[in-house]
Amino acid sequence: MPMSRRRPWRVRLRESAVWRSIVRTPPLDSPRGRALRSFGNVFLHLYPVRVPRAVLAFRSTFRLGFIATVLFAILAITGTYLMFFYTPAVTMAYGDMQQLRTRIGFGQLIRNVHRWGAHLMVLVVVLHLVRVFVHGAYKPPRQFNWVIGVGLLLVTLAWSFTGYLLPWDQLAYWAVTVGSDLVHYAPVVGGPLRDFLLGGSTIGQAALLRFYVIHVAVLTIAFLLLMAVHLWRVRKDGLAAGDPPHAHDVTARAADDARIAAIAGAALDIAEPPPTVVTGDGATVARPVPRVLGVVPPDPLSRAARPPDDEVFSWPHLIVRHQVVALATCALVLALGIAFEAPLRDLANPNLTPEPAKAPWYFVGLQELLAHFDPLVAGVLAPAVLVGALVMLPYVDRNPSRRPRDRRLALAIFALLFGALVVLTVIGAFFRGPGWAFVLPWDALYFEP
């Protein structure tokens, strides 16, 4: 066969039986083929085949939830790498951190990326929460996904906090001492709970091992479970930005609800005569009826009355946008990792507290509050009330409208609380020095990430 007639090897590979058994690539020249592209691939299956066009706009979500997911992936990969070189023992941990820097190729870079990625994830998750609040995306039918989100926020914070102890340097030891001693102001259960977390009354070997196991195993499992529900619900309910305009309208909503109830009822109605199908040889037979084992409303509320003509295919429109955001996120943490070293202070010394001993920045607002109020109020009640209020928000806020001008009160309360948190954090992080005295950051900066 003359060389010129041979097709390129890539084409031949794509057409080979083995390749086609691995990647099921339907022809993309028809809507059906494009839909199969999503159906036939477990990863793309995370996306619906079609999405409302409004979702393509960056400001529909600012892609914040997606960025948090990407950061999770980065942290899982770099964290696994770190696990190869880290021993959770007080005699080893600090030395291991030094070795990452001095002996292991790219060890320090991986550590930097893990550290900055973790800080960024806390920030991005909080911004995601703010975005969801401001868009009113926690309103029906997404109330419970907001609650799942609060769970994810707590997991993210616990992840950062447990990870903070692992380098076993002065920064780690004292930030965690101050942080975990807060628990013990909770009435009755506080003391035993703290000792349970630490495996003793002081931070030592037991605490290090516990934090390690919680950090790498317990929280990872909890996160994956919560994420499975979180993403599944986003997939089923669609994004709020893609809701039909009448989603804000109470009467149209009621009609939708009635429809859903009717559909759910119909699913149970097995007495209905089954339709027939025509087989290959022309005979008319009853179509086998799938048994009903549970109630699954076939169409989510938000999708019920969506005009079909404003939809686009997820592939490529949404997925390519996500890929760009994912790459930008990777580039950002890599750049941060190259530019800034993760800190490693002196070996942890239980007899010497460095000045000042600050909690990690996302808890420093709490620490600032502690300087003004009783520890029971500032350290236990305030955070408990905050988390409780977040969990209850979608059930307390019954205003169905998502338009900002209908939600002045909710937005004002949120802005007030969130503003207070930001102000406390900024004061605690930048304006406090030894003995928690007020300092100006341009005179002396006592901030350690």
> What residues contact 380, with CB distance under 8 A and at least 6 apart?
182, 183, 185, 186, 187, 190
**153 in contact with ligand HEM (CB under 6 A):** yes
Least distance CB 90 / other proteins (angstroms):
12
Choose which of 165, 234, 319, 326 interacts with ligand HEM (CB under 6 A): 234
Least distance CB 224 / other proteins (angstroms):
21
Choose which of 97, 100, 109, 150 interacts with ligand HEM (CB under 6 A): 150
CA dist 48 to 43, 85, 297, 317, Å?
11, 40, 17, 12
CA 89/CA 75 separation, integer angstroms: 22
Please report how the helices 107-134 and 93-102 are oriented relative to each other, as an axis angle in degrees rounded to 10. Answer: 110
Least distance CB 335 / ligand HEM (angstroms):
22
- Residue 335, SS3 per DSSP: helix
Angle at 121 between CA 115 and CA 122, to 5 degrees: 100
Q: Which does 177 bind (CB under 5 to 8 A by kind): other proteins, ligand HEM, none?
A: other proteins
Q: How many CB atoms lie within 10 A of CB 62?
A: 17
- Interface residue list for other proteins (CB under 8 A): 174, 177-178, 180-182, 195-196, 198-202, 206, 210, 350-357, 367, 370-372, 374-375, 434-438
Chain centroid, CA 123 distance in Å: 11
Q: Which does 240 bind (CB under 5 to 8 A by kind): ligand HEM, other proteins, none?
A: ligand HEM
Of the pair 187, 308, the CB lying nearest other proteins is at: 187
Least distance CB 128 / ligand HEM (angstroms):
5
Single out the segment in contact with ligand HEM by CB under 6 A; choices: 16-24, 239-247, 304-312, 375-383.
239-247
> What residues contact 68, with CB distance under 8 A and at least 6 apart?
121, 124, 125, 128, 156
Q: Which does 352 bind (CB under 5 to 8 A by kind): other proteins, ligand HEM, none?
A: other proteins
| Interface positions, 54-73, toward ligand HEM (CB under 6 A) | 61, 63-66, 68-69, 72
Outline where DSSP puts E strands in 53-157.
none
CA 364/CA 361 separation, integer angstroms: 5
Q: Which does 350 bind (CB under 5 to 8 A by kind): ligand HEM, other proteins, none?
A: other proteins
Choose which of 122, 152, 301, 348 interacts with ligand HEM (CB under 6 A): 152
CA 281/CA 277 separation, integer angstroms: 11
Of the pair 152, 333, the CB lying nearest ligand HEM is at: 152
Outline where DSSP puts E strands in 8-160.
50-52
Exposure b/e, 221-260, CB count within 10 A at least 16 = b = ebbeebbeebeebbebbbbbbbbbeebbeeeebeebeeeb
CA dist 238 to 145, 321, 399, Å?
12, 17, 21
Least distance CB 218 / other proteins (angstroms):
12
Choose which of 78, 108, 156, 162 interacts with ligand HEM (CB under 6 A): 156
Choose which of 90, 122, 129, 326 interacts with ligand HEM (CB under 6 A): 129
Polymer length in residues for the chain: 449
Size of the site for ligand HEM (CB under 6 A): 28
Least distance CB 239 / ligand HEM (angstroms):
4
**425 in contact with ligand HEM (CB under 6 A):** no
> What residues contact 128, with CB distance under 8 A and at least 6 apart?
64, 65, 67, 68, 149
Beta bridge partners of 328: none
**145 in contact with ligand HEM (CB under 6 A):** yes
**211 in contact with ligand HEM (CB under 6 A):** no
* Structure tokens given for 300: 């989510």
CA 167/CA 235 separation, integer angstroms: 39
**Position of tokens 């001095």?**
102
Least distance CB 201 / other proteins (angstroms):
6
Q: Which of 42, 40, 62, 60 is nearest to 51 (CA)?
A: 60
Q: Which does 65 bind (CB under 5 to 8 A by kind): ligand HEM, other proteins, none?
A: ligand HEM
Q: Which does 399 bind (CB under 5 to 8 A by kind): ligand HEM, other proteins, none?
A: none
Q: Which does 424 bind (CB under 5 to 8 A by kind): ligand HEM, other proteins, none?
A: none
Least distance CB 331 / other proteins (angstroms):
38
Asked if residue 432 lies in contact with residue 368, where contact means CB atoms within 8 angstroms, the answer is yes
Least distance CB 105 / ligand HEM (angstroms):
31
Q: Footprint of ligand HEM on this chain (CB under 6 A)?
A: 61, 63-66, 68-69, 72, 125, 128-129, 132, 135, 137-138, 142, 145-146, 149-150, 152-153, 156, 230, 234, 239-241
